[in-house]
Amino acid sequence: MSIMPPMTANDQPIRLPHGPLAVGGGPFVVGVLNVTPDSFSDGGRFTSAEGAVTAGRRMADAGADVIDVGGESTRPGSSPVSADEQIRRTQPVIAALAERFGRDGPALSIDTRLACVARAALDAGARIVNDITALRNDPEMADLAAERNATVVLMHMQGTPATMQQQPSYDDVVREVRAFLADRVAAATAAGIARARIVIDPGIGFGKTRAHNLTILADLAAFRTVGVPVLVGPSRKRFIGEILGIKRPADRLYGTLGAVAACILAGVECVRVHDVAETRQVADLCAAIRRR
């Protein structure tokens, strides 16, 4: 009779203020903190480290479980930012917030597709790597995440940020995106990343039309069958503006909250948003309804 080895801390899901990041947990609110001059919604708001740290502290006070710090805009049509510049923008912010929060506050996440940027963030106190390329862009990223026991968010994107909205096309968007994410989970575990440290993201707005986004949101149950927590990031996205006739991303709060409600009622564990306080209320209420 074989004896399974005992589980170690490395095999356990990361703990967040609202519990362990596991299937069926949460809901967890991931706050977006872009320290960039050109992000689609909040570019230029937090280009100083001091302003970004203040914003991160406010997110924590509003109920964020994770604060996702990004130093490179990945809006449609955007161009890559050098690793050195991403590190310059993000590392001081992560270090200051990590010192402020310790291990009991919100977890810090680095939004990057470059291993050297992720390494600098992990050195500064980040515990999550949010990679829009699902570990495909940089061959060192998977090994780094495994070595450092980081939680990873694996996102689907058709194309690159520069090209992704140039006529995206699928035969069956849910089936194809789910298959891609299941494959990337397998690749991550093969690289030594514990399954308990993997989250998937179908990539709303990343190489998808309005119809694709709505189809994904209407069939989120398909992604939950992959067997790892699901994160969805609908916040202020273009499809909301197109449906509601709202041009300015910052004015799309109520549409975002409608999408958040749909996600939580469908059982999604994590939502990634700009407006943490409002989202926390909606997520908690929808979770209470779901539990009944």
| DSSP-derived secondary structure for 107-169 | EEEEE-S-HHHHHHHHHHT--EEEETTTT-S-TTHHHHHHHHT-EEEEE--SS-TTTTTSS--
The active-site residue, picked from 197, 237, 238, 252, is 237
Tokens of 87: 């590190």
Check if 224 is active-site. no
Q: Distance (Å, rounded) from C-alpha 73 to C-alpha 69?
A: 11
Distances, alpha carbon 179 to alpha carbons 100, 102, 107, 172, 197, in Å:
39, 37, 29, 11, 19
The active-site residue, picked from 113, 127, 238, 272, is 272
Task: Report which DSSP code applies to 71.
Answer: S
Check if 237 is active-site. yes
Dihedral angle computed from the Cα positions of residues 49, 152, 155 and 44, in that order, rounded to the nearest 10 degrees: 0
Tokens of 9: 């801390």
Give the strand pairing for 15-16 and 19-20: antiparallel
Catalytic residue positions, numbered: 237, 272
